[in-house]
Amino acid sequence: MIGRIGSEKEGNNNYIYLIGSDKLSQGLHDLSEAANKKYVNLELDYTYNDDNDPNRFYYRSDHYNFAKKNIPVIFYFNGTHEDYHQASDTPEKINYELLAKRSKLIFFTAWEIANQEERIKVNP
């Protein structure tokens, strides 16, 4: 879900959609933004994070099982494309350079969380 370029972002090799980073924890969201700025500098797109998004991606992926237990999550997403959830979504279509950059963002976000003195706080 992070190795392709979504149809709506064709030609943009420096973005990722983030969904849910601020829904349960503003601290998680802020940490994610800071990690991106410090280490990777991707364009963070929150289009699908909107509560009124008709796709409801926040509720449709594995991370939601944590979120519904009040555990802060970030769902990283490349967007949809013609092969989205199809058998035709095969490895040769992955943009491995972009996948590596996005993976670094995820790693460094987790690294920053793990090296904090305190746990990520849930919004009141």
**Residue 122 counted as domain residue:** no
Digit-by-digit pLDDT tens for the chain (124 residues) are 899 999 999 989 999 999 999 999 999 999 999 999 999 999 999 999 999 999 999 999 899 999 999 999 999 999 988 888 889 888 998 999 999 999 999 999 999 999 999 999 999 9
**Residue 124 counted as domain residue:** no
In the chain the first and final C-alpha atoms are separated, in Å, by: 31
Q: Using CA atoms, how far apart are residues 10 and 105, in angstroms rounded to an integer?
A: 21
Range of the domain at 102: 7-114
**Residue 119 counted as domain residue:** no
| pTM score | 0.92
How many domains, in total, are found in the chain?
Answer: 1
